[in-house]
Each structure stands twice: as C-alpha cells, then as structure tokens.
Amino acid sequence: MLHRLRSYADSVRSSLFFVPMVCVVTAVVLGEVMLLVDAWVEGIHPRLTATVDSARTVLTTVAGATLTFAGIAFSVSLLLISLASSQYSPRVVHGMFRDPFNKRVMGLVIGTFTYCLVVLRAVRSSLESEGDGIVPSVSILLAVVLGIASILAIVAFINHAAHSMDISKILHRVTCEALEQARVGWPEPDPDADATDAGEALGLPDTAAPVRFVGHGWVQNVDYDGLLAAVPAGCRVRLDTFAGLYAVQNTPVCHVWPPDAVDDDVEDAIRRAVIVGETRTMQQDLAYGVRQLADVALKAMSPGINDPTTAHDALSHMGVLLADLLRRVPPAQRLSGDRGQSLMVPRATTHEQLVGLAFDELRIASADQPTALIYLLEVLHSVERSLDTEQRPGAVSALRRQAAMVHTMSQDAPALDADRERVRAAYESLFRA
C-alpha cells in the first residue's frame, strides 16, 4: 500500500494540473470569505472605497490580465519543454514538469482570475436589485494586491524559465533527483560486511508456475514485502521483471513454486504488488537517472548537435552520480519473508550494469573524438578514486574495463597519430601510473 501511495505522490509531483486546481479551489473559498469580511467591516477609509463602476472595472481588468498572463505562462512552458526535448533529450522533459516554481506561478495567476470572478459576481448597485447595493471594497483591494503579485510572478517566471534552459541546471536537477532517490532506496555500505558486487546465479525449476502481466507499460515500483505476503508460507518466487523494465502483456511477472500454491487470488495480489505506469520514473529505477545523463551526452555528441562541451558537462554530473551509487549497496537479489517465503530478483540493478549503461554507448559514439575520449577517461578515473577498491572490487573492475576499451578504441580509430598519442598518454597517466 505504501508503495502505491508513493507512486500516486510521484504522479502528483509530475502533474501541471494539481497545484493550479488547489489554487482555484482556495480562491473560491477566499472570495466567499472576503465577501463576508466586507459585510462585517464598517467605517472604511474613503480612499479604500470604490463605486460599482470602478469595482467592476478593476475586477474585470485584473481578471482579463491574469488570464492573458496564464496563457503566456503555459505557452512559455510548452516552448521550453519542446526545446529541451529536441536540444538535449526527451528523457529530461519529465523532470521539467516537476518544477514547483512554475506550478506555483500558474496557480497564483489562475487563482487570482478565479477570485476576481467570485467577487465580481457579488458586485451590484441599488438599482439592480432590491435593497442596498454591494461594493466589497476590502475584497477589491485584495484583488488589486493579487493582480500586482501576478504581474511580478510572471516576470519572475520568465526569468526563471530563461535560466532553466541552462544545460548545467538541467543536469544538476537530474543528478540531485537521482541522489535523493539513492538515499531512499540504496543503503549506505556496512564497513563490516563482506565485499560483494554481484549476486549468485538464481535458477528456475521446470515445475514453476508463471504469473503473467495482463497489461503493458513501464514497471515503476515493486512492493517486495507485498509480493512476499501474497504467496503462501514456504513458497519460492523468482521475479522476472524489475523497476525500469517495460512490461509486455502476457509475459511473466514472476514464477512461483510449488505450482499448486498459485490460484487467482494469489495472481491478483502479485500483480497489485508490481506498479505499472505509462512513463518511466526514478522511484526505484536509479538507472533512469544514469540513462538521462547518458542521453544528454549522446545527443551532444551526435553529428546534428556536435557539442562536446555539453557532453563533458553531462559526464561530470555522471561522475558525481556514479561515485555515490557505486559506493552504496545495490538492491538485494534474494529476500525472505516471515513465513518462510523466498523471493529471488535476478534482474536487480548491479554496479556493473550502471557502469555499462553510463559509458558503453557514449564510448562508441565518441570513437572519432579524441578530446571526448579523454573526458571519458578523466571521469572514469575520478569515479574509481572515490571508491574503496576492497569494498567494491566489481565496480572498480568495470570502470577499468571501460578505460581499457576507450584506449583500445582510440588506437584503432581513424585519427591523427598526435591525437591517438594524446589519448594513450591520458590512459597511461590515469590508469597505469
């Protein structure tokens, strides 16, 4: 249940609708409360009072201006998302929806418009109805204040939007989000634990019963405790998926044995423990953070962009993220329940997989770029120096393999002898000194 709530919370954080909706509801309540305040307040200073015509003019002007500002804000947001997708990577767009500043500005502007409508509805003269006219001066004064705040918020929004396209800020946001998830999902290393990087081989008996997906989408979250609780005591389960993999309909979620322990209720409970959505997220999938940084670097190295400096920036942030992830304990490949159940997770992310995801494609894309290969060697060396060789031997070995492949590729690339010598000298200095 907790994992599903976290999934809903992550969806809310990525929504551009939720915060403005809350602000609209708040504005309706605020408008009604202020009208009640106006009915109670007496003896307002003459400079704060208004006539029916001036009240309607002020409220109409503020409402129309804020609605125009809202259109500008939404247009700028969509333009930035389009530019980031084409210039850097479609994967970084997901994080731009999570920017709280943009949602607050939109909420303020839309809320101001709604507040003006609520107050405008109550304004009337004594000739338009029986009894005294209603000119809520205090409510109108608050509308003016909200209108001015909306104007300043739009200016701040444009300033924020202009700076948000800075590639370093985008990379910093992706890195910080991944590091935050790492602190939640990957524990700190235990100095007294035995050094290990890879899990044991997890076999599957021929009699195991498969539980299959009934839909399709990205696996966003797996409730391991819920999955273990779904099967009877003494059962063994091998999970055939993992957060960050795409679930294809009718492919196995897991295999359970003994097979006679599986019925419709058990299958439904297992499927509920695996949350599938339309988009990939970093809830349990820290490899997605690595994927985003690698994609930005790959896009920068493509012939259409050809921006090695941006690739270097992405690699620098990649080094920060890997230095933290490779130091932490990766997801366990074997879990136990309190009733003798056993869960095997052979597809859990390993340190070696993260290193390959970070550098394999980029190394190939940079084969004819000696300077980019040197960047790769420098980042690999920095990450290696941040690790304890005895505690993480598999991760260090994977980094050194990548460095050796970079060196070999540079010597076979169609480049000038001087450029090949630059890469060779960097490799010798960093990894053989």
Give the start-to-end residue ranges of the domains of the chain. 2-165, 191-433
Spatial distance between the Cα atoms of 225 and 207, rounded to a whole number of angstroms: 24
Place domain 191-433 in its CATH homologous superfamily.
Pyrimidine nucleoside phosphorylase-like, C-terminal domain (3.90.1170.30)
Quote the mean pLDDT of the chain.
Answer: 86
pLDDT of residue 386: 92
Q: How far apart are CA 332 and CA 330, in angstroms?
A: 6
pLDDT for the residue 196: 45
| Of 380, 377, 361, residue with least CA distance to 297 | 361
Tens-digit pLDDT profile for residues 396-406 = 999 999 999 99
**Chain segment 7-42, per-residue pLDDT in tens:** 777 777 777 788 889 999 999 999 999 999 888 876
Reported as a pLDDT band with limits 50, 70 and 90, residue 133 is: low
**Are residues 165 and 310 in contact, defined by beta-carbon separation less than 8 angstroms?**
no
Cα 234–Cα 238–Cα 240 angle in degrees, nearest 5: 155
Which whole-number Å values give the CA distances from 23 to 107, 112, 115, 234, 236, in the listed order?
A: 5, 9, 10, 51, 49
At 342 the pLDDT is 92
Mean pLDDT on 120-128 = 76
Averaged pLDDT for residues 352-362: 94
| Residue of 243, 241, 176 lying closest to 6 (CA atoms) | 243
Would you call 202 helix, strand, or coil by DSSP? coil
User: Given this model, what pLDDT does residue 212 score?
Assistant: 94
pTM above 0.85, yes or no: no
Pick the closest to residue 310 from 368, 364, 385, 362 (CA basis).
Answer: 362
